[in-house]
Amino acid sequence: MSPVLIELCLLLRDFLGDHDLDAELAALPDEDLYHHTTFALSLQHSGRDFTARPAPELAHIAAAVLRRLSTGPLGDTSLRSPQARYATTPTPHPVQIADAPAGHDKPLGALWTSSLLSSGTSMWQWGEQAEFGSDRTLFTVAFDPTAIRLFTIDSPSDYRRLVNRYPRSARGRASVCWSRAAEDLDAVHLTVPGLLTAHHFPITTPHGTATLTGWDAESTAWLRLPPSLEVTPHHRAVEPPG
């Protein structure tokens, strides 16, 4: 089980108890469940054991969480327009993709966006607050979703397929060759289920072991600028959670 899902299950066990989980999770608002998810992910910086490992005692909670995510907006695998983007200026920088150094599998130079919760909150808000404070403005990025060559990471097997399609390897470690991926794809979308199950979860490939790290939220890495791009200020500014 991924360490993100393990930590989320531990949080939910403390928060909801250990009985009638489906009903408790059904009553939990999307924004609260996602906030718990991002908090679980932030524990990677706490110094505790944040590695994938068997956790049979949490399997029933993990199954309930994934059932909850199988329906509703948090489990939606489509890339919805508009997306949210924090930046100092509305004009996106030119996209020039490069491969990250060892230790993180994310495309350098990408344009990053995240989806909006029904409340209008960006799914990157909590990470934005922790990393940048209130220095940047929230913009919405509208585009034509039908014109995008999109790859979606919704599970570890999706990430394995991406690595195998565009492999990059060194010293037994594998990752995505993002410069090659950018020749075929416009964007790669990490969903909420993908964040929970594939992030920090090592997978075995013919090219070595690959681990998706460094994304830290439901997000989309644009390997080229979105088609029919329109950027406007969003009505919500960065706000502290709570």
- Average pLDDT of the chain is 92
d(CA 189, CA 208): 23
CB 158 within 8 A of CB 194: yes
**Confidence band, pLDDT 50/70/90 cuts, at residue 103:** low
Q: What percent of the chain has pLDDT over 70?
A: 96
Mean pLDDT calculated for residue range 26-34: 95
Q: Is the pLDDT of residue 240 over 70?
A: no
d(CA 200, CA 214): 9
d(CA 137, CA 201): 32
User: Which residues are CB-contacts of 186 (< 8 A; sequence separation ≥ 6)?
Assistant: 148, 149, 150, 222, 223, 224, 226, 227
pLDDT at 182: 97
Q: Is the pLDDT of residue 92 over 70?
A: yes
35-75 pLDDT tens trace: 999 999 999 999 889 999 999 999 999 999 999 999 889 99
Mean pLDDT calculated for residue range 94-111: 88
CA distances from 204 to 17, 183, 211 (A): 35, 25, 9
Q: Is the pLDDT of residue 236 over 70?
A: no
Amino acid identity at 145: P
At residue 74, φ and ψ (nearest 5 deg) are -70, -25
CA distances from 50 to 6, 55, 73, 88, 151 (A): 9, 13, 27, 33, 27
